[in-house]
């Protein structure tokens, strides 16, 4: 009878959020759609006319992807209703499991009792559990279950014993391996995390209604009290259950839904919110399955409030199940409070992701549940618990660093270390304080169980405090290591920015533990590897001119900067010709401005150009044509240009290898094939706590620098960071062409004379001319850095060549043109970088360098290192004000909309 039958024609109300799952075409969703639409139902008739046992699953069950869902005992009006509920709940479980990648498939066991459960005797229950054990044993690891309505942890203990005696294996997941852990409390902590995320990070000062004060609702209410909610109303069908300390019992209030709350937290029966009950609340977020009586009721509510579907908010128990199943040993040893906290943080982060995705898409959160499902190919959430717990221990260790920090403050290096330690300590104490009055700190932090779950003899923080003491006696903070799971500063991205920041930080703090994480197996995967490496001082702001010169000073003295006589990159001087369409007066003014910065430059007219370059470069503007193909008058005035001396280029790949070597020599830990999946937050999202790798491992750090180039926004999104200006990955195309010797002496040329918009530059060493764009028309294709066309488009190539052959009339036409495309990160608001600490304390932004970041990188490294440490050395520094390019500045006024000459 456990043979699964495909469900046909069963009208099921889909779980909140799954309608979109069926419609959307996203990759993750498509996977889930197939499983959802293949709902299955098995039936077993119970002896003694007790009723029927249903097993509903959203997909075929297997030992590698077993089903998981609680055992519900309920009396239904008829069989059809029972089946309907079984399948609906199975689908709901599927949504939870896929949202968090618990490693389980969605399923549910329903006992459709012939008579109401309160009429059942003890023997009836035992009979049912024997039947369930037989079914589970037959399924042989394809299905796991736990408590649900009218089944208790004692029932599960009994079921577990039966399974073990039947087949020698246990198919019950109800925290059997850790008796102090209560699944209901885990669910409550998850719900609480979701509420925190929905209310902007904290419940302090908020008004909430908790509907239903059973095992979940009562714990949620307690957490709300502990975390400073201003007003907590509670309600239950058994009114005395809603008499909770610090809460106002509104069980007798007839229109409880209309009292006006920041959030209503349903922890009771399905179908609570009908179309008639017009909710006056900012949000609905809770534990109840299917809290709305119909899709229409949900639509009405979602028009005026934020609804977080229960597939996201009510997943605490399945998260703990996943830990129990996939990390058995860690589960058995963990203090329950640690498991609850894990649940709370996991659900909070997921809820933030959901709300962010909804905000970006401009739709209700229930419409994007499918989009935030964890990929199946990552570790199940339960396997990630161990790394998380380790990270928490590190954090506990960090809390003890404050004293050591005071000693370290005396030295330059120490100030940085002390700041890092303070941040570490601060993050930790906040975390502990958030745990509430009962969990003040230290030894008691993880030993006090929730009221409904008696604490058992298990590891407490006092044992880890002993570890801290040991650690402190053997290490000083400045001796760099907390552990391989933590660092003083983590830099995401080993592009030219990330490596320069690491190098510059290290210059002022030789003992700090600096880790650079790079997703690619080798250097040069992002923009830096494709850079032309050209360097110039011609900028329209004094600050950016200064900044560029500070960067160039390092490149021009590369061996000295890196303190490496074997550094190989060499600066090749070419000079630069700026023919950007400005008149003689403007160009004269630029020559004077450059002179102020000791950069020699000349203003050239057409004769001067001919004299200087022997007629190779034409002074004729590129002709302009109208839509009919007729040439039109441009009235550009006489030709004028600026020739800047002293600029030139370096090979970007060689620079990257050189600086990597210097970093590694100095003890910076540069790790390749390490993709950061997200930013880890502490202090309700106010402060960075480290980074989470794609595989779930966590690297804790009080300072994280996002130098991930075109991936910048993807990473920021994981921390909910928005800046005042927006940089987007922009596709940029470059061509190469063979040139004869006489063209190798050309300068770098930026050509904006007429409707051109290209640059070109010789690479004399291999007789190549590199050409690309200085005009917006070539630079407007925003791309996903993980999926874009990396070749040179034929029409762009032709456009480039038209401009090129016009400017260089004698350039031979023959020879192959090769090209590629890569990415700039272009600040859409003002074409300037954003460099500085974000609103998430300790998280630095470093992005938006368009087509000229390479030259700036040593100066960027100096700026970021100064911002973090407030230390300035006597060499290789920039004097640009620290907030000039701050991430929350007003857009800097833009003179010309080009990504090149700013
Ligand atoms: C074709 C082209 C020509 C250019 N020409 C010039 C020029 O002549 N002069 C000039 O000054 N500038 C030039 N630039 C611009 C310059 O190259 C860039 O401004 C600069 O390289 C940006 O460096 P970055 O370190 O910020 O980014 P990137 O070099 O893109 O580095 C970011 C790194 O982060 C890694 N990463 C991303 N996400 C993650 C993650 N989640 N986990 C781990 N690692 C991650 C990426 O793999 C990448 O290696 C040019 C750029 C291009 C594309």
DSSP structure string for 493-511: --SHHHHHHHHHHHHH-TT
Question: What is the distance between the alpha carbons of residues 804 and 548, in angstroms, rounded to a whole number?
Answer: 27
Q: In this structure, is residue 136 part of a structural domain?
A: yes
Domain that includes residue 763, residue range: 576-645+727-827
Task: Report how many domains make up the chain.
Answer: 3
Q: Are residues 768 and 659 in the same domain?
A: no
Q: Are 497 and 857 in contact (CB under 8 A)?
A: yes
**Is residue 531 within 6 Å of ligand 1 at its C-beta?**
yes
Over residues 163-180, the pLDDT tens digits come to 998 777 889 887 777 878
**Is residue 685 within 6 Å of ligand 1 at its C-beta?**
no
pLDDT score, position 426: 54
Measured from the Cα of 551, ligand 1's closest atom is 11
β-bridge mates for residue 763, sequence order: 768
Tokens of 154: 């004692």
pLDDT higher than 90, residue 435: no
> What value does the mean pLDDT of the chain take?
84
pLDDT score, position 423: 52
Q: Are residues 817 and 844 in the same domain?
A: no
Question: What is the distance between the alpha carbons of residues 94 and 107, in angstroms, rounded to a whole number?
Answer: 7
Q: Hey, is 342 helix, strand or coil? A: helix
The last residue of a domain, from among 102, 132, 167: 167
**Is residue 532 within 6 Å of ligand 1 at its C-beta?**
yes
**Is residue 853 within 6 Å of ligand 1 at its C-beta?**
yes
* Residue with CA closest to ligand 1 atom 14: 851
Q: Which of 498, 500, 502, 526 gets mutated to test ligand 1 (max ligand atoms within 8 A of its CB)?
A: 526
Measured from the Cα of 847, ligand 1's closest atom is 26
User: What CATH number does the domain containing 680 carry?
Assistant: 3.50.50.60
pLDDT score, position 370: 86
pLDDT higher than 70, residue 398: no
Question: What is the distance between the alpha carbons of residues 14 and 90, in angstroms, rounded to a whole number?
Answer: 10
**Is residue 217 within 6 Å of ligand 1 at its C-beta?**
no
Other CB atoms within 10 Å distance of the CB of residue 673: 10
pLDDT higher than 60, residue 496: yes
pLDDT higher than 50, residue 661: yes
Q: Are 613 and 808 in contact (CB under 8 A)?
A: no
Other CB atoms within 10 Å distance of the CB of residue 381: 29
Q: Residues of the chain with pLDDT > 70: what percent?
A: 84
Matching residue, tokens 């200085």:
774
Q: Are residues 93 and 159 in the same domain?
A: yes
Q: In this structure, is residue 466 part of a structural domain?
A: no
User: What CATH number does the domain containing 62 carry?
Assistant: 3.40.50.10860
Q: Hey, is 489 helix, strand or coil? A: strand
Tokens of 533: 């490496």
Q: Are residues 598 and 717 in the same domain?
A: no
Measured from the Cα of 733, ligand 1's closest atom is 1
User: Checking DSSP bridges between strand 834-837 and strand 843-847, what pairing results, if any?
Assistant: antiparallel
Q: Which long-range contacts (CB under 8 A, 24 or more apart) does 473-481 make?
A: 476/404, 476/408, 477/401, 477/404, 477/405, 477/408, 477/417, 477/420, 477/421, 478/408, 478/413, 478/414, 478/417, 478/511, 478/512, 479/511, 480/511, 480/512, 480/513, 480/667, 481/513
Q: Are residues 686 and 538 in the same domain?
A: yes
Q: In this structure, is residue 33 part of a structural domain?
A: yes
Q: In this structure, is residue 878 part of a structural domain?
A: no
The last residue of a domain, from among 144, 167, 190: 167
Q: Are residues 25 and 129 in the same domain?
A: yes
Tokens of 339: 């498991």
β-bridge mates for residue 678, sequence order: 692
Q: Which of 520, 527, 835 gets mutated to test ligand 1 (max ligand atoms within 8 A of its CB)?
A: 527
Q: Hey, is 882 helix, strand or coil? A: coil
pLDDT score, position 8: 39
Over residues 605-647, the pLDDT tens digits come to 999 999 999 999 999 999 999 999 999 999 999 999 999 999 9
Question: What is the distance between the alpha carbons of residues 38 and 91, in angstroms, rounded to a whole number?
Answer: 10
Q: Residues of the chain with pLDDT > 90: what percent?
A: 66
pLDDT score, position 166: 77
β-bridge mates for residue 749, sequence order: 577, 760
Ligand 1 mean position, distance from CA 497 (Å): 8
**Is residue 706 within 6 Å of ligand 1 at its C-beta?**
no
- Whose CA is closest to 315, among 284, 278, 356, 343? 343
Q: Are residues 513 and 609 in the same domain?
A: no
* Residue with CA closest to ligand 1 atom 30: 526
Chain centre to alpha carbon of residue 20: 23
Q: Which of 490, 491, 492, 493 gets mutated to test ligand 1 (max ligand atoms within 8 A of its CB)?
A: 493
pLDDT higher than 80, residue 36: no
Tokens of 874: 């006597």
**Is residue 821 within 6 Å of ligand 1 at its C-beta?**
no
Q: In this structure, is residue 740 part of a structural domain?
A: yes
pLDDT score, position 877: 97
Q: Are 130 and 162 in contact (CB under 8 A)?
A: yes
pLDDT higher than 70, residue 299: yes
Over residues 504-526, the pLDDT tens digits come to 999 988 888 999 999 999 999 99
Ligand 1 mean position, distance from CA 656 (Å): 11
Q: Are 718 and 838 in contact (CB under 8 A)?
A: no
Q: Mean pLDDT lowest for which of 68-77, 78-87, 437-446?
A: 437-446
Q: Hey, is 847 helix, strand or coil? A: strand
Question: What is the distance between the alpha carbons of residues 516 and 834, in angstroms, rounded to a whole number?
Answer: 20
Q: In this structure, is residue 732 part of a structural domain?
A: yes
φ/ψ bin of 771: left (φ > 0), alpha (ψ from -120 to 50), beta (otherwise): beta
The last residue of a domain, from among 800, 827, 854: 827
Over residues 105-157, the pLDDT tens digits come to 999 999 999 999 999 999 999 999 999 999 999 888 999 999 888 898 889 99
Q: Are residues 37 and 113 in the same domain?
A: yes
Question: What is the distance between the alpha carbons of residues 869 and 561, in angstroms, rounded to a whole number?
Answer: 20
Q: Are residues 781 and 673 in the same domain?
A: no
Q: Mean pLDDT lowest for which of 215-229, 359-373, 564-578, 751-765?
A: 359-373
Q: In this structure, is residue 781 part of a structural domain?
A: yes
CB-based burial label for 186 (10 Å; 0-12, 13-18, 19+) = buried
Over residues 329-365, the pLDDT tens digits come to 999 999 999 999 999 999 999 999 999 899 988 999 9
Give the CB-side neighbour count of residue 149, counting CA atoms within 13 A.
21
Q: Please, where are the H alpha helices in 8-121?
A: 18-23, 27-37, 79-100
Q: In this structure, is residue 748 part of a structural domain?
A: yes
Q: Are residues 55 and 145 in the same domain?
A: yes
User: Checking DSSP bridges between strand 727-738 and strand 768-773, what pairing results, if any?
Assistant: antiparallel
User: What CATH number does the domain containing 603 carry?
Assistant: 3.30.9.10
Measured from the Cα of 853, ligand 1's closest atom is 19
pLDDT score, position 13: 47
Q: Are residues 546 and 603 in the same domain?
A: no
pLDDT higher than 60, residue 445: no
Q: How confident is the model at residue 243 (pLDDT cuts 50, 70, 90)?
A: very high
Q: Are residues 766 and 812 in the same domain?
A: yes
Ligand 1 mean position, distance from CA 527 (Å): 3
């Amino acid at each position: 009878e456990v043979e699964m039958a495909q469900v046909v024609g069963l009208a099921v109300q889909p779980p909140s959020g799954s309608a979109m799952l069926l419609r959307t075409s996203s990759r993750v969703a498509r996977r889930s759609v197939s499983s959802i639409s293949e709902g299955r139902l098995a039936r077993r008739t119970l002896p003694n006319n007790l009723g029927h046992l249903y097993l509903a699953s959203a997909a075929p069950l297997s030992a590698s992807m077993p089903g998981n869902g609680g055992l519900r005992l309920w009396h239904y009006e008829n069989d059809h209703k029972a089946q309907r509920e079984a399948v609906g709940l199975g689908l709901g479980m599927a949504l939870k499991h896929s949202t968090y990648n618990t490693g389980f498939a969605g399923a549910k066991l329903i006992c459709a009792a012939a008579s109401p459960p309160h009429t059942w005797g003890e023997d009836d229950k035992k009979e049912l559990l024997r039947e369930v054990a037989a079914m589970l044993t037959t399924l042989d690891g394809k299905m796991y279950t736990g408590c649900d309505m009218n089944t208790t942890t004692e029932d599960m203990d009994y079921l577990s014993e039966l399974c073990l005696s039947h087949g020698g294996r246990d198919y019950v997941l109800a925290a059997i391996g850790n008796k102090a852990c209560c699944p209901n409390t885990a669910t409550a902590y998850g719900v609480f995390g979701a509420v925190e995320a929905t209310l902007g990070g904290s419940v302090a000062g908020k008004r909430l209604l908790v509907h239903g004060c059973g095992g979940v609702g009562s714990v949620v209410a307690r957490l709300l009290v502990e975390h400073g909610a201003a007003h907590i109303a509670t309600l239950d069908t058994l009114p005395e259950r809603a008499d909770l300390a610090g809460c106002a019992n509104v069980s007798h209030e007839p229109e409880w839904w209309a009292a006006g709350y920041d959030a209503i937290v349903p922890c009771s029966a399905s179908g609570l919110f009908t179309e008639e009950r017009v909710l006056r609340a900012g949000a609905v977020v809770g534990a109840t399955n299917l809290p709305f009586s119909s899709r229409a009721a949900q639509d009405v509510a979602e028009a005026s409030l934020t609804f977080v579907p229960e597939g996201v908010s009510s997943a605490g128990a399945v998260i703990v199940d996943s830990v129990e199943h996939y990390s058995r040993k860690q589960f058995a040893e963990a203090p329950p409070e640690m498991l609850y906290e894990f649940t709370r943080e996991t659900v909070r982060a997921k809820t933030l992701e959901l709300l962010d995705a909804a905000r970006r898409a401009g739709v209700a959160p229930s419409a994007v549940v499918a989009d935030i499902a964890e990929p199946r190919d990552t570790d199940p959430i339960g396997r990630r618990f161990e790394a998380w717990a380790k990270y928490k221990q590190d954090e506990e260790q960090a809390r003890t660093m404050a004293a050591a920090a005071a000693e370290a403050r005396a030295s330059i290096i120490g100030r940085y270390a002390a700041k890092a330690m303070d941040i570490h300590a601060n993050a930790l104490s906040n975390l502990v304080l958030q745990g509430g009055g009962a969990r003040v700190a230290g030894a008691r932090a993880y030993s006090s169980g929730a009221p409904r779950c008696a604490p058992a003899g298990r590891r407490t923080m006092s044992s880890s405090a002993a570890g801290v003491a040991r650690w402190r006696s053997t290490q000083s903070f400045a001796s760099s290591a907390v552990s391989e799971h933590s660092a003083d500063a983590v830099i995401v991205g080993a592009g030219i920015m990330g490596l320069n920041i690491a190098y510059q930080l290290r210059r002022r703090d030789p003992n700090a533990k600096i880790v650079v994480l790079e997703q690619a197996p080798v250097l040069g995967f992002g923009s830096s590897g494709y850079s032309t490496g050209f360097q110039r001082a011609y900028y329209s702001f004094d600050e950016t001119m200064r900044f560029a010169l500070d960067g160039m000073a390092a490149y021009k003295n590369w061996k000295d900067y890196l303190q490496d006589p074997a550094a190989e990159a060499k600066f090749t001087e070419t000079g630069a010709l700026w023919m950007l369409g400005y008149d003689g007066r403007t160009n004269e003014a630029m020559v004077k401005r450059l002179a102020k910065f000791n950069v020699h430059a000349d203003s050239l007219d057409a004769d001067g150009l001919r004299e200087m370059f022997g007629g190779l470069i034409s002074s004729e503007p590129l002709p302009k044509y109208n839509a009919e193909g007729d040439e039109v008058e441009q009235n550009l005035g006489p030709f004028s240009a600026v020739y800047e001396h002293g600029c030139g280029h370096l090979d970007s790949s060689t620079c990257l290898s050189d600086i990597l070597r210097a970093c590694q020599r100095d003890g910076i830990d540069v790790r390749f094939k390490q993709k950061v999946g997200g930013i880890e937050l502490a202090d309700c999202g106010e402060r960075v706590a480290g980074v989470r790798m794609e595989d779930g491992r966590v690297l804790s750090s009080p300072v994280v620098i996002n130098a991930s180039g075109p991936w910048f926004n993807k990473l920021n999104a994981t921390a909910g960071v928005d800046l005042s200006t927006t940089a987007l990955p922009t596709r940029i195309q470059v061509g190469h062409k063979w040139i004869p010797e006489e063209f190798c002496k050309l300068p770098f040329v930026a050509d904006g004379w007429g409707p051109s918009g290209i640059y070109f530059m010789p690479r004399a060493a291999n007789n190549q001319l590199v050409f690309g764009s200085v005009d917006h028309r070539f630079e407007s294709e925003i791309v996903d850095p993980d999926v874009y066309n990396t070749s040179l488009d034929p029409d762009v190539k032709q456009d480039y060549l038209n401009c090129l052959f016009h400017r260089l009339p004698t350039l031979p036409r023959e020879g192959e043109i090769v090209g590629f495309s890569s990415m700039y990160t272009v600040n859409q608001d003002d074409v300037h970088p954003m460099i500085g600490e974000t609103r998430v304390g300790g998280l630095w932004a470093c992005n938006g360098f368009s087509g000229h970041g390479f030259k700036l990188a040593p100066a960027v490294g100096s700026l970021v290192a100064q911002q973090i440490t407030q230390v300035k050395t006597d060499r290789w520094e920039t004097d640009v004000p620290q907030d000039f390019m701050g991430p929350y500045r007003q857009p800097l006024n833009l003179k010309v909309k080009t990504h090149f000459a700013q």
